[in-house]
Amino acid sequence: MLIRASKLKSRAKQLFILLGIITMKITDAEKAYRQIKKQIVTTKLSPGALISETDMMSELALGRTPVREAMKQLEADNLVTITPRRGMFVTDITVTDLTQIFEVRAEIEPLAVRLATQRMTQKQLAQLRHLAEEYKDADPTCSIWIVIFMFCWEKALIMIFC
Protein backbone atom coordinates (compact mmCIF):
# COMPACT_ATOMS: atom_id res chain seq x y z
CA MET A 1 0.00 0.00 0.00
CA LEU A 2 1.48 3.32 -1.03
CA ILE A 3 0.73 6.47 0.92
CA ARG A 4 2.15 9.81 -0.07
CA ALA A 5 4.14 11.34 2.78
CA SER A 6 2.62 14.76 2.10
CA LYS A 7 -0.82 13.39 3.00
CA LEU A 8 0.23 12.08 6.39
CA LYS A 9 -0.12 13.89 9.69
CA SER A 10 2.92 14.15 11.93
CA ARG A 11 2.35 11.01 14.01
CA ALA A 12 1.99 8.88 10.91
CA LYS A 13 5.15 10.38 9.44
CA GLN A 14 6.97 9.59 12.68
CA LEU A 15 5.74 6.00 12.60
CA PHE A 16 6.62 5.48 8.95
CA ILE A 17 10.09 6.83 9.64
CA LEU A 18 10.45 4.40 12.57
CA LEU A 19 9.33 1.51 10.39
CA GLY A 20 11.67 2.55 7.60
CA ILE A 21 8.80 2.99 5.14
CA ILE A 22 9.74 6.59 4.43
CA THR A 23 12.62 8.84 5.31
CA MET A 24 12.41 12.54 5.72
CA LYS A 25 14.17 15.35 7.50
CA ILE A 26 12.17 16.77 10.37
CA THR A 27 11.68 20.49 9.81
CA ASP A 28 11.86 23.19 12.45
CA ALA A 29 8.11 23.68 12.06
CA GLU A 30 7.57 19.97 12.77
CA LYS A 31 9.82 20.20 15.84
CA ALA A 32 7.86 23.21 17.07
CA TYR A 33 4.57 21.45 16.37
CA ARG A 34 5.59 18.36 18.35
CA GLN A 35 6.94 20.32 21.30
CA ILE A 36 3.97 22.68 21.57
CA LYS A 37 1.51 19.82 21.10
CA LYS A 38 3.25 17.90 23.89
CA GLN A 39 2.83 20.92 26.17
CA ILE A 40 -0.87 21.10 25.31
CA VAL A 41 -1.53 17.37 25.71
CA THR A 42 0.31 17.22 29.05
CA THR A 43 -1.52 20.43 30.13
CA LYS A 44 1.71 22.31 30.69
CA LEU A 45 -0.22 24.77 28.52
CA SER A 46 -3.69 24.59 30.04
CA PRO A 47 -6.97 24.92 28.12
CA GLY A 48 -7.74 28.57 27.43
CA ALA A 49 -4.15 29.67 28.05
CA LEU A 50 -2.70 32.45 25.91
CA ILE A 51 0.30 31.26 23.93
CA SER A 52 2.93 33.92 23.40
CA GLU A 53 4.65 33.56 20.05
CA THR A 54 7.73 35.35 21.41
CA ASP A 55 7.91 33.10 24.46
CA MET A 56 7.58 30.00 22.26
CA MET A 57 10.33 31.25 19.96
CA SER A 58 12.60 31.74 22.95
CA GLU A 59 11.66 28.49 24.69
CA LEU A 60 12.05 26.37 21.56
CA ALA A 61 15.07 28.30 20.25
CA LEU A 62 13.37 28.64 16.87
CA GLY A 63 12.45 31.53 14.62
CA ARG A 64 9.06 33.12 14.07
CA THR A 65 8.22 31.23 10.86
CA PRO A 66 8.49 27.66 12.26
CA VAL A 67 6.49 28.65 15.34
CA ARG A 68 3.77 30.25 13.20
CA GLU A 69 3.63 27.21 10.91
CA ALA A 70 3.32 24.96 13.95
CA MET A 71 0.54 27.12 15.37
CA LYS A 72 -1.36 26.96 12.07
CA GLN A 73 -1.11 23.16 12.11
CA LEU A 74 -2.22 23.06 15.76
CA GLU A 75 -5.18 25.24 14.81
CA ALA A 76 -6.03 22.82 11.99
CA ASP A 77 -5.89 20.02 14.59
CA ASN A 78 -8.27 22.04 16.82
CA LEU A 79 -5.70 22.26 19.60
CA VAL A 80 -5.19 26.01 19.26
CA THR A 81 -7.53 28.88 18.43
CA ILE A 82 -5.97 31.85 16.64
CA THR A 83 -7.92 35.09 16.98
CA PRO A 84 -6.63 38.04 14.92
CA ARG A 85 -5.42 40.94 17.08
CA ARG A 86 -6.11 38.93 20.26
CA GLY A 87 -3.65 36.08 20.15
CA MET A 88 -3.30 32.33 20.14
CA PHE A 89 -5.07 30.28 22.78
CA VAL A 90 -5.11 26.63 23.76
CA THR A 91 -8.53 25.35 22.72
CA ASP A 92 -10.87 24.55 25.58
CA ILE A 93 -12.04 20.97 25.75
CA THR A 94 -15.41 20.14 27.20
CA VAL A 95 -16.78 17.02 28.84
CA THR A 96 -18.91 16.55 25.72
CA ASP A 97 -15.77 16.66 23.55
CA LEU A 98 -14.08 14.02 25.70
CA THR A 99 -17.19 11.84 25.75
CA GLN A 100 -17.44 11.94 21.96
CA ILE A 101 -13.75 11.12 21.57
CA PHE A 102 -14.01 8.12 23.88
CA GLU A 103 -17.21 6.89 22.21
CA VAL A 104 -15.57 6.94 18.78
CA ARG A 105 -12.38 5.32 20.06
CA ALA A 106 -14.38 2.59 21.81
CA GLU A 107 -15.86 1.60 18.44
CA ILE A 108 -12.83 2.06 16.19
CA GLU A 109 -9.96 0.66 18.24
CA PRO A 110 -11.35 -2.91 18.45
CA LEU A 111 -11.95 -2.83 14.67
CA ALA A 112 -8.37 -1.70 14.09
CA VAL A 113 -6.99 -4.45 16.35
CA ARG A 114 -9.10 -7.09 14.61
CA LEU A 115 -8.00 -5.94 11.14
CA ALA A 116 -4.36 -5.61 12.18
CA THR A 117 -4.23 -9.09 13.70
CA GLN A 118 -5.77 -10.56 10.56
CA ARG A 119 -3.46 -8.74 8.17
CA MET A 120 -0.06 -8.30 9.80
CA THR A 121 2.88 -10.56 9.12
CA GLN A 122 5.09 -12.13 11.78
CA LYS A 123 7.74 -9.51 11.01
CA GLN A 124 5.21 -6.72 11.52
CA LEU A 125 4.05 -8.32 14.77
CA ALA A 126 7.65 -8.29 15.98
CA GLN A 127 7.90 -4.61 14.98
CA LEU A 128 4.66 -3.89 16.85
CA ARG A 129 5.98 -5.56 20.00
CA HIS A 130 9.21 -3.59 19.73
CA LEU A 131 7.36 -0.30 19.19
CA ALA A 132 4.92 -1.06 22.02
CA GLU A 133 7.89 -1.44 24.35
CA GLU A 134 9.36 1.86 23.14
CA TYR A 135 6.03 3.69 23.32
CA LYS A 136 5.15 2.53 26.82
CA ASP A 137 7.43 5.18 28.34
CA ALA A 138 7.16 7.67 25.47
CA ASP A 139 5.50 11.04 25.60
CA PRO A 140 1.69 11.01 25.63
CA THR A 141 1.39 12.44 22.12
CA CYS A 142 2.73 9.12 20.78
CA SER A 143 0.21 6.34 20.59
CA ILE A 144 0.55 2.63 20.04
CA TRP A 145 -2.80 2.94 18.28
CA ILE A 146 -1.07 4.65 15.39
CA VAL A 147 1.00 1.49 14.94
CA ILE A 148 -2.10 -0.68 15.05
CA PHE A 149 -3.92 1.53 12.54
CA MET A 150 -0.93 1.27 10.21
CA PHE A 151 -0.81 -2.51 10.41
CA CYS A 152 -4.53 -2.97 9.76
CA TRP A 153 -3.79 -1.53 6.27
CA GLU A 154 -7.17 0.17 6.17
CA LYS A 155 -6.53 3.39 4.30
CA ALA A 156 -9.59 5.15 5.75
CA LEU A 157 -8.44 4.51 9.33
CA ILE A 158 -4.90 5.59 8.54
CA MET A 159 -6.01 8.85 6.96
CA ILE A 160 -8.48 9.67 9.75
CA PHE A 161 -6.34 8.88 12.76
CA CYS A 162 -2.77 9.27 11.66
Beta strands in the chain (DSSP E): 50-51, 80-83, 87-90
- The mean pLDDT of the chain is 77
CA atoms lying within 13 Å on the CB side of residue 28: 12
Cβ pair 66, 29 in contact under 8 A:
yes
In the chain the first and final C-alpha atoms are separated, in Å, by: 15
- Set out the domains of the chain in order of their start, with CATH numbers: 28-90 (1.10.10.10), 94-161 (no CATH)
Confidence of residue 1 (pLDDT cuts 50, 70, 90): very low
Per-residue pLDDT tens for 42-66? 889 999 999 999 999 999 999 999 9
Decide if pLDDT at 20 tops 70.
no
pLDDT at 3: 43
pTM of the predicted model over 0.95 = no
